[in-house]
Amino acid sequence: MKLAIIGLGIMGERLLRAALLHPATTVVAVWDPAPEAAARLAAIDPALVMAPSAEAAIAAAEAVYVASPPASHIAHGRAILQAGRALFLEKPLASDLEAARAFVASARGMRAAVNFPMASSPATAQLLRWRPEIGALRGIEISCAFAAWPRAWQQAAASWLARRAEGGFTREVASHFLFLAQRLGGPLRLIEGSADYPAGDGSERAAQARLRAGEVPVRFEGRVGGTEREETNETRLIGERGQLRLRDWSYAERLGADGLWHPAPDALPNPAMRPLTLAGQLDKLAALTRGEATTLATLEEALAVQEAVEAILAGGHTSGR
Query: Rounded to an integer, what distance in angstroms lies between the CA atom of residue 241 and that of residue 244?
Result: 10
Query: Rounded to an integer, what distance in angstroms lies between the CA atom of residue 62 and that of residue 2?
Result: 5
Mean pLDDT per 10-residue segment, the chain (321 residues): 96 97 97 94 94 98 96 96 98 92 96 98 97 97 96 87 92 97 96 95 96 97 93 98 98 97 96 97 98 98 96 76 45
Question: Could you report how far apart the first and last alpha carbons of the chain are, in Å?
Answer: 49
CA 252 to chain centre: 18
Q: What is the pTM of this model?
A: 0.94
Instruction: Write down the pLDDT at residue 321.
Output: 45
H or E element at residue 196:
strand 188-197
Query: Rounded to an integer, what distance in angstroms lies between the CA atom of residue 173 and that of residue 36?
Result: 26
Instruction: Write down the pLDDT at residue 317.
Output: 62
Angle between helices 10-20 and 270-289 (to 10 degrees): 70
Strand, helix or coil for residue 99? helix
Answer yes or no: are the C-beta atoms of 25 and 1 closer than 8 Å.
yes
Q: Which domains does the chain have, with CATH numbers?
A: 2-114 (3.40.50.720), 119-273+304-318 (3.30.360.10)
